Amino acid sequence: MISVPTARALATSGVAWEPASGDRFVITDRGMDDDVFVLSEMVVEAQDHATGRVLGFNGTTEWALDSVAAEQAVWLPREGQLREMLGDTFAGLVPEDGAFVVRTRDADGERSSRADDVEEAYALAVLAVRARAARGA
């Protein structure tokens, strides 16, 4: 699973989250930074209201938490979602010395992003691709 700082960096880079069933997220700055929630229509669902999108906790006893604004949640994308974000730049995934290396390729050549966790490696690759695109490289 990607780290919360990496997830925040993805959001800051402009990666948009459209909450969907199966998505993982954390609610930070409320003493719950280490609690990972999973969006599910049975327990937690995205609800659109006139006041904005909220994440509704239905039929749960989770600290009597009824809902939080989606902006208060930090999305933790899964491997497949991160790979999809890479699109045509994705060149491969290689295990290497107990870590994972995600290779990306663009007009300027191939680059690598490495981490101990496969999802973190993908997320770092997404950040690198987005940073190059922002610089116009």
For the question of whether the overall pTM of this predicted structure is more than 0.85, the answer is no
H/E segment holding residue 24 = strand 24-27
What CA–CA distance (Å, rounded) separates 120 from 113?
A: 9
Give me the residues of the chain with pLDDT under 50, please: none
Tokens of residue 68, six digits:
């939080």
- State pLDDT tens for residues 53-68: 988 776 655 555 667 7
Look at residue 58 in the predicted model and tell me its pLDDT: 64
CA distances from 27 to 36, 40, 121 (A): 8, 16, 23
Look at residue 30 in the predicted model and tell me its pLDDT: 78
Q: Where are the domains of the chain?
A: 18-76, 78-136
